[in-house]
Amino acid sequence: MNMDVFRDYTIKNGLGIRVRNGRECRVIRVIRKEWVEVGKPYPLPLDPSLLIWTNTGIPASILAVALRVYEADHPESQLRVMLTGRPAPRRRPVPPSEPVYAY
């Protein structure tokens, strides 16, 4: 008997990440109203380098894109920690910009 257990982490735009049996993850997309696995499976824990973005904004993988979009919708999510087994990298706070006044 195959006990294939998975959990989907999805967002409204039709992109997400499926974690299967706590051992692997895959990017998923909505195709014809169904969530479909896309691309290759990634064994867990992930190498954090798969989730980085370059200074010019190029992601290391489609998985990096899916995670960034998911985290934008769910800022308190622990998905990155679950995928990598490591705490999320600290981001430097962005200083407030000068207010823009329109008259």
Q: What is the mean pLDDT of residues 3-31?
A: 93
pLDDT in tens, 60-90: 889 999 999 999 999 999 999 999 998 766 6
Q: How confident is the model at residue 101 (pLDDT cuts 50, 70, 90)?
A: low
Whole-angstrom distance, CA of residue 95 vs CA of residue 93:
6
Residue carrying the six token digits 């290391």:
60
The pLDDT of residue 103 is above 80 = no
**Token pair of 85 as six digits:** 């087994």
pTM value is 0.78
More confident position, 67 or 91: 67
The predicted structure's pLDDT at residue 70: 95
Q: Using alpha carbons only, what angle is made at residue 94 by residues 93 and 100, rounded to the nearest 5 degrees?
A: 150
CA distances from 40 to 28, 43, 61, 62, 97 (A): 10, 10, 11, 10, 41
